[in-house]
Structure 1
Amino acid sequence: MKVFHALADALAAHGVDTVFGLMGNANLLYLPAFADAGGRFVAVAHEAGAVAMADGYARMSGGVGVASVTHGPAFTNTLTALVEGVRSRSRVLLITGDPPPVPTHFHQFDIAAVTTAAGAGYERVHGAASLVADLNRAVQRIVAEQRPVVLNIPIALMQAEAGEQAPVALPVAPGSLAAPGAEALDGALGLIGSAKRPLVLAGYGAAAGGARDALVELADRTGAALATTVLGKELFAGHPRDIGIFGSLAHSAAGTVIAEADCVVAFGASLNMWTALNGDLFRGKKVVHVDTDPARFGSYTPADAPVAGDARRTAEVMNTLLEQAGITAANSAWAQRVAGKLAGYAPEDDVDDRGGPDTVDIRTAMIRLDRVLPAERTVVSDIGRFDVGVWPYLRVADPLHFTVMGGFGSIGLGLAGAIGAAAAGAGRPVIAAVGDGGFMMHLSEFTTAVRQRLPLVVVVLNDGAYGAEHYKLHHHGYDPAYSAFDWPDLAGLATAMGARALTVRKAEELDVVGELLPTLDGPLLVDVRLDPDVNLVRY
């Protein structure tokens, strides 16, 4: 058996059912072999798309997403998407390979050095006989280190005889941190016990760690309000004291509760600049910070009581210790005040609709879209000025059904990430929220969704400009027209590519999305027209 066949078999044995890639000399043989053996090869238009799709696939499947590219510029084309995966701690395997061992080959490039600079792990197949052992090590590192790994398989090895290989070894996930003991929690419980107006804040780590029930119990014992970061959104949906997103995107009722809280108990959240509003939201409050990664303590927000621990286990121990201390329903007046503040709140309360004759207010549009879509949905968002009108209003049934392709701050990866999420096939419709600039950056990947016949709804929030720059140019006294783009008709482009499409200039025109969704056999592009002069972001 040749190495390329052994690689295809080993990927399948690792449970890989989908590889996203762009074919070239370095992967020309194992990708067809993988597909011929029953795997799915999703051919992409650009190498960055392959990595972003693998990333989106990994986030929504819970497994390892695999991307494959050839050598030289194919690898360098992946770098922005690779760094996004690193910053988002995504489980991605990127397979590439050195070109032929000719010193003057124009694709010669130091893959290891650039991989290290990107923050990803690097592994190399050292010889034909070590292929499976080297692959095993790469996959184990992805799972253990929670970051992408680049696997370099030199092209010179591909047609060598594989010979006898080590058996495939499935990766072992790292165990949770042991639950902290009473002594380690003494300072944290002291702050919680003395708080008059506590608030429990959950981030993605709490959601992924299955901490919801333990955190709700902690909040009910202490009368705490409940809140989440953006990546934990909807974790506490339905609870009478759930204020929703904590931070720069908090709604008006939530803002009052946050201002009045005297102690924030955070679980699995980095407490970054957006959550903390550059520190403003934590001033005058005691902060208990629980996280599995002690390196996060103080990175953005100082903590009065840092606790290294798993969110669920730590909350469970806290509940046990509080019960032993006789605390079962504290701060009832605060709890009632929070519930009262939220009882009459509706998303429309904060919307002073700024739609025009031919444009919609993004908030009104998302509230409308939220109501016509099925509750069970996956939402993958790009980043841009539009986010403030999407994240608080377009909900999900589970925080793990929402992700943002924005860990590196690059626009344009959302579409590919959503394609990967749709390819994961979780049985939920996938909604991509992207800006017009980011969409046009990777327009070619829309054809991938068409070819794969993915029932993907791509909502383009289209203000005909790079929105943040439009606002900032105006603020600095320059003509904002420098940021404007006269795009072609997006619905026409999508139709020409073989997709369904509609243009929305009135919020009620979004109702048809709910009608079309059950019969989609490919992507639907929804071009939502916005006014570039309407700015909702505080810069």
Structure 2
Amino acid sequence: MAEHDRVRVYEAFAAALLEHGVDTVFGLMGDANMLYAGDYQDRGGRFVRVVHEGSAVGMADSWSRMTGRVGVASVTHGPAVSNTLTSLVEAVRSRSHVLLVTGDTPREPTHFQRLDLAAVATTAGAGYEKVHKPESLVRDLNRAMQRVLAEDRPVLLDLAIGMLRQDAGQQPPVARAVPRARGVPSEEQLGGAIGLIAAAKRPVVLAGRGAVASGARDELVALSGRIAAPLATSLLAKDLFRGHPSDIGICGNLSHSVASRAITEADCIIAFGASLNAHTSFHGEIMAGTKVVQVDADPGAFDWYTRVDEAVAGDAKAVAAAINEALDAVEHRPATGWLRGIQQEAASHRPSDDFQDRSAADTVDVRTAMIRLDEVLPDTRVVVSDIGRFVVGVWPYLRVADARDFTSMGAFGSIGLGLAGAIGAAVARPGDLTVAVVGDGGFMMSMAEFTTAVRERLPLLVVVLDDGAYGAEHYKLVHFGMDAGYSLNDWPELVPMAEAMGARGMTVRKPAELDALTEIVADLDGPFLVDVKLDPNVNVLA
């Protein structure tokens, strides 16, 4: 075979990625990936260049959440891989479909960048696969992609640097990965759950992210009607039932007053695809003394955070449909008076009813700011949140038109991942406005990645909730009777920094100043930063 006719491993790998339908890769180039990254772009693939390797995984993670497809990140060896660890754990905890491609260092025992890749994957909770030899390249990639979907977690694929320029030889065909089967339990397995549901006088239907992923909204709305139940969600399913008269919003420590009363009075909670974690269950308090039915595709979810009376393993959509059929068969007729009262209260409830606005002359109450932002932004938008003290003033008030349009980069509890997540979402949804909501500490931690949004000209609104402090620590220092000044930071002004990076921005000290965003976001051709000034002494957790 002539030299120019040979197909090398890096070329075969780039071609195989595209055959798998991978049209976007997030990454930072180095010795272990630059050959196939370049060839991949030559073949028409999009390679989104990041500033930090952790951001590549964060972007692939969020991109996957928004598209429902496998997100792919590519980094070089050694320290590049260790830089991804926090974002990789976040993706694992979120059960995201992410393939992280890296490669072992050259086969030299004293190589100063050597790192045990399998150990890194294990530490993060991710799967590990490797390309064993040039001839098994496609087969090994097929298996890695299949495991991502089958196991609902990221997989690290090790394509060793020493193999890249070798002859790829004869390869098997690309085999598209198949999602995990979601079964329907038998009538016998459903019997106990249906009995509890039919006997309930004040039931609540609770949907989690699993219900969103399975497309169960219509079935759960139908179930609500059959059993006269309010409709609630976990945080990651927020706004799934927006606009429905039985919608009471988020269940747990972010519930508004009407939802809190309904959930407290409930005698049965039927949860679909919700983990019932400490936040949703308010550390178990709101479900104490209440019958709980939990439906989840993962049997490992049962009794992990909250005790369960009836556990049903199965897909949320399919199980909800089966329960509806069973209730129809017995002609179940619930009393509707309790639900009507909840509906009337919910219809008259306003977001500002449950708090006193604490805006001042030069600072804004974060809750008031988010209510105003919700009003001025287009209804169709994607919202990606970092985490921090500010979130309790954001998540209940900044809404989305579709539950799939919201995500939070907070499953591992690390600040600083929100900006990368928002960039990944903006790449996934180029026709929509993406709103990143971050704290000032998290933004400063990831600020360099703002240049990626500038370079890609993404329609991204970055809202920095700026109290000049690490807010959670400020609150805790006050609580412990210590000097809260230790949590304060003296940042540079953020808008000039954004402008120096090639973007635009504005500083907000009064809620009405947010109104200008209506026109600004109508024609965004790149990121826009909004620095919302908050008072660190206003504690929305109190």
Indicate the TM-score class for this superposition, using the shorter chain for normalisation: over 0.9
State the Cα deviation string for residues 469-520 of structure 1 (Å, max 9, x = none). 0010111111111111011000110011001100010111111112111211
Cα pair 1:17 1:39 within 8 Å, conserved: yes
Q: Match of 2:64, SS?
A: helix
Q: Match of 1:495, SS?
A: helix
Q: Match of 1:487, SS?
A: coil
- 411, 416, 422: which one pairs with 1:418? 422
- 310, 323, 326: which one pairs with 1:321? 326
Are 2:220 and 1:215 aligned?
yes
Equivalent residue for 1:69? 75
Give, in whole Å, the separation in 2 of the partners of 1:142 and 1:106: 31
Give, in whole Å, the separation in 2 of the partners of 1:61 and 1:182: 34
Equivalent residue for 1:290? 295
Give, in whole Å, the separation in 2 of the partners of 1:292 and 1:139: 20
Residue 522 (structure 1) shift: 0.4
Equivalent residue for 1:302? 307
Give the AA of the match of 2:242: A
- 478, 482, 488: which one pairs with 1:484? 488
Are 2:56 and 1:50 aligned?
yes
- 255, 263, 274: which one pairs with 1:250? 255
Equivalent residue for 1:114? 120
Equivalent residue for 2:384? 380
**Unmatched tracts of structure 1, length 5 or more:** none
Residue 315 (structure 1) shift: 1.1
Cα pair 2:430 2:459 within 8 Å, conserved: no
Identity of aligned residues (%): 60
TM-score by length of 2: 0.98
Give, in whole Å, the separation in 2 of the partners of 1:352 and 1:367: 13
Residue 426 (structure 1) shift: 4.9
State the Cα deviation string for residues 297-354 of structure 1 (Å, max 9, x = none). 11011011111121111111111111111114x1211121111221211112123100
Give, in whole Å, the separation in 2 of the partners of 1:272 and 1:53: 25
Give, in whole Å, the separation in 2 of the partners of 1:221 and 1:61: 32
Equivalent residue for 2:462? 458
Equivalent residue for 1:200? 205
Give, in whole Å, the separation in 1 of the partners of 2:524 and 2:348: 37
Give, in whole Å, the separation in 2 of the partners of 1:281 and 1:413: 31
- 170, 174, 178: which one pairs with 1:164? 170
Give, in whole Å, the separation in 2 of the partners of 1:185 and 1:66: 38
- 264, 273, 277: which one pairs with 2:278? 273
Equivalent residue for 1:226? 231
Give, in whole Å, the separation in 1 of the partners of 2:158 and 2:396: 41
Equivalent residue for 2:520? 516
Q: Match of 1:420, SS?
A: helix
- 535, 539, 542: which one pairs with 1:535? 539
Equivalent residue for 2:28? 22
**How do 1:291-370 and structure 2 match up within 5 A?**
291-328=296-333, 330-370=334-374
**How do 1:179-190 and structure 2 match up within 5 A?**
179-190=184-195
Cα pair 1:290 1:307 within 8 Å, conserved: yes
**Unmatched tracts of structure 2, length 5 or more:** 1-6
Q: Match of 1:380, SS?
A: strand
Give, in whole Å, the separation in 1 of the partners of 2:306 and 2:351: 29
Q: How many residues align?
A: 536
State the Cα deviation string for residues 59-79 of structure 1 (Å, max 9, x = none). 111111111111111110000
Equivalent residue for 2:66? 60
Give, in whole Å, the separation in 1 of the partners of 2:205 and 2:300: 21
TM-score by length of 1: 0.98
Residue 163 (structure 1) shift: 1.4
Q: Match of 1:274, SS?
A: coil
Are 2:441 and 1:433 aligned?
no
Cα pair 1:61 1:426 within 8 Å, conserved: no
CA RMSD of aligned residues (A): 1.0
Cα pair 2:207 2:272 within 8 Å, conserved: yes
Q: Match of 2:516, SS?
A: helix
Give, in whole Å, the separation in 1 of the partners of 2:179 and 2:259: 37
Equivalent residue for 1:259? 264
Q: Match of 1:510, SS?
A: helix
**How do 1:469-480 and structure 2 match up within 5 A?**
469-480=473-484
Residue 425 (structure 1) shift: 2.9
Give the AA of the match of 1:472: K
Equivalent residue for 2:393? 389
Are 2:6 and 1:3 aligned?
no
Are 2:153 and 1:129 aligned?
no
Give the AA of the match of 2:274: A
Q: Match of 1:392, SS?
A: coil
Cα pair 2:386 2:410 within 8 Å, conserved: yes
Are 2:233 and 1:235 aligned?
no
Are 2:98 and 1:78 aligned?
no
